[in-house]
């Protein structure tokens, strides 16, 4: 497990030294500035506009990092063969995968936190006095990070058995479908065959429910988030990540390197 | 008696290919061999012969279709085996955002070395491979030869008992090749076992206690370079000069290089040939035995393998 930590820290160092990451952060700051300007032209609802735009920007940029860097975590190492020297050392394949996941999750945590601070400063700019409900923004940022960790796990799983391009498509596809899991559950079952009904029901529980992590509306209206929801989402993300990473480990442990 | 450093038994590797992966291509066929402790073992063969496949199987980068292998007495599935093994991949490439010192420190952490050990080992190893002044430069600025040296450094960083090097001389200039050879010889002096693959036969002849020749995924011979090539004399070579015009019939068989001629004759006809040349006014400069080289042995195997493959292809049609 200690070796997974060593791999994670190196993955984090790679992301920090990667200039693409800084460009995305710069983009985030531009988005924050844009949200302030948009807020100024939205009379009476500046706070709502800033929070909605800010959280959307954090989510979008985080997703780009999670999908593109997440897919490259393993595939890049295999393509460039940097993996060979490492796996010939006393490191197990699951330690390598866990380290890679942990490193990017840590990178995302810092990025999301940095972008969260940017959003917070934008809010301070338009609303000097804070209420307790305004803390919901921070919980919304935390939920975005949970969602991104889940996306990284999926990207890692797909990159273990398919090409980077397909892994990006699969991860993006699952993410998009995962936003509409609730709609899938609420589909009018009476118009479908019993087999289709059962399939849809199972599929809706099998797919990750990304909409669980979206509390943008609550944050925009400064509504407090129940503690149970925080615990439930944390547990859901942890269990789902564990399941997906276990699948990735099972695939990768049997994979022949080129 | 201690266990061999490397022991394989019927180690085989097949890759699926073709439509729906229904066909199988054999990369390695029932390889059984041993590398003894403390020796330098050369694994030689042409490109695509199965050298890298064997090494990757030993390092668990790929998995065998059949057979088994043990390293330092432990099955290769035992992760602890890797503590005492150093490995240089073919055409190595490393994290280019790191400096050589950072990369070695990273690998030293993987080997659980303490901070003091890491500092000491990184400096010593960089010096050993001639990179002590380039240790703080990012690897993306390194040449191919320098990367090869970094690869060698990470393989010996943790003072392993067995070092497996996949084409260690590849991409190196003459100075680099000499230094790589010196490192390999140093390892033997320290009592380590070295197995390296190469298609540069002079390196194998110069360094190896024993060599294994692999062609077409099959091991074709194992032994000392002298055992593998025929130790009996292949004939005699006479080196001579001519003072003036010569009409001796033997001259037609000689090869001219500048003012000198070389003539190969069977051992039994040596004295007769010398007498003929002397009678024709030739000045005999030297007479030497002609022995087959490892290269000739190797090329014979490769040609036989190609001929067999062609025959199979024709019969398949």
Mark whether B15 and B135 lie in a shared domain: yes
Mark whether B41 and B104 lie in a shared domain: yes
The answer to whether residue B1 is domain-embedded is no
The answer to whether residue B313 is domain-embedded is no
Contact list in B for residue A256 (CB cut-off 8 A) is 61-63
Mark whether B19 and B159 lie in a shared domain: yes
Q: Over the stretch A118-159, which tens digit does the pLDDT of each residue have?
A: 888 878 777 777 777 778 899 999 999 999 999 999 999 999
The answer to whether the Cβ–Cβ distance between B89 and A87 falls below 8 Å is: no
Neighbours of A110 (CB within 10 A): 15
pLDDT at A235: 97
Q: Over the stretch A57-100, which tens digit does the pLDDT of each residue have?
A: 899 989 999 999 999 999 999 999 999 999 999 999 999 999 99
Q: Please, what is the Cα angle at A186 between A177 and A170, to 5 degrees?
A: 10
pLDDT at B191: 92
Mark whether B219 and B271 lie in a shared domain: no
The answer to whether residue B254 is domain-embedded is yes
Given B190, B206, B225, which residue is the final one in a domain? B225
The answer to whether residue B13 is domain-embedded is yes
Q: Tell me how far apart the alpha carbons of residues A29 and A210 are, in angstroms, rounded to a whole number.
A: 25
Nearest CA in chain A to B155: A85
Q: What is the nearest CA distance from A89 to chain B, expressed in angstroms? A: 5
What ipTM does this complex have? 0.85
Given B225, B258, B273, which residue is the final one in a domain? B225
The answer to whether residue B151 is domain-embedded is yes
pLDDT at B317: 45
CA B167 to each of CA A55, B22, B43, B88, B151: distance values in angstroms, whole numbers, following the listed order? 52, 32, 9, 8, 11
Q: Over the stretch A197-210, which tens digit does the pLDDT of each residue have?
A: 888 888 888 999 99
Mark whether B150 and B252 lie in a shared domain: no
Q: What is the mean pLDDT of chain A?
A: 88
Q: Which of A2, A82, A257 sits opposite B95 (nearest CB)?
A: A82
Q: Which of A17, A81, A91 sits opposite B97 (nearest CB)?
A: A17
Nearest CA in chain A to B64: A256
Q: Which of B63, B91, B154 sits opposite A256 (nearest CB)?
A: B63
Contact list in B for residue A82 (CB cut-off 8 A) is 93-95
The answer to whether residue B303 is domain-embedded is no
pLDDT at B293: 67
Mark whether B181 and B51 lie in a shared domain: yes
The answer to whether the Cβ–Cβ distance between B97 and A13 falls below 8 Å is: yes
pLDDT at B256: 87
Q: Please, what is the Cα angle at B40 between B158 and B144, to 5 degrees?
A: 60
Mark whether B113 and B201 lie in a shared domain: yes
pLDDT at B70: 95
Given B225, B249, B268, which residue is the final one in a domain? B225
Please check whether residue A1 touches B, CB under 8 A: no
DSSP assignment, residue A224?
Answer: P
The answer to whether residue B304 is domain-embedded is no
Mark whether B105 and B174 lie in a shared domain: yes
The torsion defined by the Cα of A245, A251, A257 and B3, in degrees rounded to 10, comes to: 100
pLDDT at A155: 96
pLDDT at B229: 65
What total number of domains does chain B contain?
Answer: 2
Per-residue pLDDT of chain B (317 residues; tens, 9 = 90+): 578 999 999 999 998 887 777 788 888 999 999 999 999 999 988 888 899 999 999 999 999 999 999 999 999 999 989 999 999 999 889 999 999 999 999 999 999 999 999 999 999 999 988 888 888 899 999 988 889 999 999 999 999 999 999 999 887 888 888 888 989 999 999 999 999 998 877 788 889 999 998 988 899 888 887 777 654 456 888 999 887 777 777 888 888 888 889 888 888 889 999 998 888 888 899 998 776 666 677 777 777 777 776 665 555 54
Mark whether B160 and B275 lie in a shared domain: no
pLDDT exceeds 90 at position A232: yes
B186 three-class SS: helix
Q: What is the nearest CA distance from B138 to chain A, expressed in angstroms? A: 11
Mutate which of A12, A88, A252 to test chain B, going by most B C-beta atoms within 10 A? A88
The closest alpha carbon to B148, from B182, B176, B127, B187, belongs to B176
Mark whether B109 and B33 lie in a shared domain: yes
B22 three-class SS: coil
Mark whether B81 and B201 lie in a shared domain: yes
Please check whether residue B160 touches A, CB under 8 A: no
Contact list in B for residue A13 (CB cut-off 8 A) is 97-98
- The answer to whether B223 and B212 are in contact (CB under 8 A) is no
Q: What percent of chain A has pLDDT over 70?
A: 95
Query: Which CATH number do you get for residue B30?
Result: 3.40.50.300
Domain housing B250:
235-290
Please check whether residue B230 touches A, CB under 8 A: no
Cα A234 → chain centroid? 13
Contact list in A for residue B56 (CB cut-off 8 A) is 257
Please check whether residue A95 touches B, CB under 8 A: no
pLDDT at B313: 58
Number of A:B CB contacts under 8 A?
A: 71
Nearest CA in chain B to A80: B93
Bridging pattern class, strands B162-166 and B85-88 = parallel
Please check whether residue A92 touches B, CB under 8 A: yes
pLDDT exceeds 70 at position A20: no
Mark whether B219 and B268 lie in a shared domain: no
């Amino acid at each position: 497990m200690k070796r997974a930590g060593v791999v994670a820290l190196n993955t984090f160092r790679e992301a920090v030294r990667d200039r693409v990451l800084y460009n995305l952060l710069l983009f985030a700051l531009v988005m924050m500035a844009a949200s302030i300007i948009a807020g100024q032209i939205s009379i009476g609802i500046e706070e709502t506009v800033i929070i909605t735009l800010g959280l959307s920007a954090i989510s979008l940029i985080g997703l780009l990092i999670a999908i593109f860097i997440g897919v490259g975590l393993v595939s890049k190492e295999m393509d460039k063969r940097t993996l060979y020297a490492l796996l010939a050392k006393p490191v197990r394949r699951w330690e390598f995968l866990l380290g890679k996941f942990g490193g990017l999750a840590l990178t995302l945590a810092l990025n999301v936190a940095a972008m969260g601070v940017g959003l917070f400063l934008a809010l301070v700019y338009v609303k000097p006095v804070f209420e307790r409900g305004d803390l919901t923004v921070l919980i919304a940022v935390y939920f975005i990070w949970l969602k991104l960790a889940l996306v990284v796990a999926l990207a890692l799983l797909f990159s273990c058995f398919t090409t980077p391009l397909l892994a990006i498509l699969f991860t993006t596809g699952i993410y998009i479908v995962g936003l509409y899991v609730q709609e899938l559950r609420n589909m009018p079952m009476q118009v479908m065959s019993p087999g289709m009904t059962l399939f849809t029901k199972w599929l809706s529980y099998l797919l990750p429910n990304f909409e669980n992590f979206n509390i943008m509306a609550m944050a925009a209206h400064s509504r407090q988030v129940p503690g149970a929801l925080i615990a439930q989402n944390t547990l859901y993300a942890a269990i789902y990540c564990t399941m997906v990473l276990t699948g990735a480990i099972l695939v990768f442990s049997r994979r022949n390197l080129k | 008696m201690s266990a061999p450093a490397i022991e394989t038994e019927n180690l085989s590797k097949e890759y699926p290919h073709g439509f729906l992966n229904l066909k199988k291509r054999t990369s390695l066929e029932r390889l059984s061999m041993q590398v003894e402790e403390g020796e330098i073992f050369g694994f030689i063969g042409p490109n695509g012969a199965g050298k890298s496949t064997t090494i990757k199987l030993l390092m668990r980068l790929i998995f065998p279709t059949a057979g088994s292998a043990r390293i330092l007495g432990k099955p290769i599935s035992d992760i602890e085996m890797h503590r005492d093994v150093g490995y240089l991949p073919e055409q190595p490439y490393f994290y280019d955002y790191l400096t050589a010192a950072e990369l070695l420190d990273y690998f030293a952490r993987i080997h659980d070395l303490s901070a003091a050990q890491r500092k000491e080992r990184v400096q010593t190893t960089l010096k050993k491979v001639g990179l002590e002044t380039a240790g703080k430069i990012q690897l993306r600025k390194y040449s191919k030869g320098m990367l090869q040296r970094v690869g060698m450094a990470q393989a010996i960083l943790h003072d392993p008992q067995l070092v497996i090097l996949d084409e260690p001389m590849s991409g190196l200039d003459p100075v680099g090749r000499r230094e790589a050879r010196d490192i390999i010889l140093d390892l033997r002096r320290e009592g380590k076992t070295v197995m390296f693959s190469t298609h540069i036969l002079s390196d194998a002849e110069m360094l190896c206690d024993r060599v294994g020749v692999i062609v077409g995924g099959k091991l074709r011979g194992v032994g000392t370079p002298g055992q593998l090539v025929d130790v009996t004399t292949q004939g005699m070579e006479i080196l001579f000069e001519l003072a003036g015009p010569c009409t001796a019939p033997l001259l037609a068989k000689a090869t001219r290089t500048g003012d000198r001629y070389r003539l190969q004759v069977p051992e039994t006809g040596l004295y007769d040939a010398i007498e003929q040349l002397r009678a024709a006014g030739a000045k005999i400069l030297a007479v030497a035995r002609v022995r087959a080289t490892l290269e000739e042995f190797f090329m014979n195997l490769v040609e036989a393998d190609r001929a067999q493959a062609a025959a199979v292809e024709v019969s398949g049609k």
